[in-house]
Amino acid sequence: MTYPATTTASKTVLITGASSGIGEATARRLAASGHRMVLGARRVERLAALAKEIEADGGSALPHTLDVTDPLSMRSFVQAARDQYGRVDVLVNNAGVMPLSRLDALRTEEWDRMIDVNLRGVLHGIAAVLPTMQAQGAGHIVNIASVSGLRVDPTAAVYSATKHAVRALSEGLRQESRNLRVTVISPGLTRSELTDTIGDQDTKDAVTGQMAIAIPAAAIGEAIHYAITQPAEVDVNEIVVRPTAQG
């Protein structure tokens, strides 16, 4: 049997939460393969520095301020990509927060923040790119979930709920689409700044202790690269990437 070769065509790729961690690593990996990057995050100075490095290495990158909890901000982000590059091929919904805690700690503002960023942010991204992708007759949405979307652990109930929801949302979108590809990437313990969002000190100490086995964010960028470079008729629906030593 002969399988179609992976595509090397340059794509316009939008990444949310691109200023650090998985978003930054993915931007570097995809830019190195010749894709045009549109980088979104709140920390514009870090985005600008990343874009400058990418362009110094011969790549193409447009930094743009972005708050995924604001639908208008997300639409502006997508419009900037269209204005600069004329199309939107891939959206990587990567922005996320993970302020883990036990439910009886009643850190309700953190619950709301996770729902706003991890779930509503993904919905805002989908809503912003769908009209363009449908008009193009093609597009690819990559949603970053988590192994916490496959299981539930103490202190992670709300975080897991948002990631389970991202997986359900992605599957619904996939079933509704015929020209649109949808991929869920579920990372395990990965080195990033997510642990910095944990406000409960006992939980933060416990998670920090587990990070000795964490894999680099570049491993997730590699998985995203694999998914988006498959032939148009191949939709990689889900990839789980975690440390070999993770239980």
Two tokens, residue 156: 């992670």
Nearest CA to 38 out of 142, 217, 50 is that of 50
Two tokens, residue 62: 């447009």
From the candidates 3, 85, 159, 226, which is the catalytic residue?
159
Asked if 14 contacts 36 with a C-beta cutoff of 8 angstroms, the reply is no
Q: Where are the beta strands (DSSP E) in 19-76?
A: 36-41, 60-65
The dihedral built from the CA positions of residue 86, 65, 227 and 179, taken in this order, carries a sign that is: negative
Alpha carbon distance 170, 231 (integer Å): 20
DSSP letter at 190 equals: B
Two tokens, residue 157: 């109930």
Asked if 69 contacts 75 with a C-beta cutoff of 8 angstroms, the reply is no
The answer to whether 85 is a known catalytic residue is no
Asked if 50 contacts 18 with a C-beta cutoff of 8 angstroms, the reply is yes
Two tokens, residue 4: 């179609």
Q: Which residues are catalytic?
A: 159
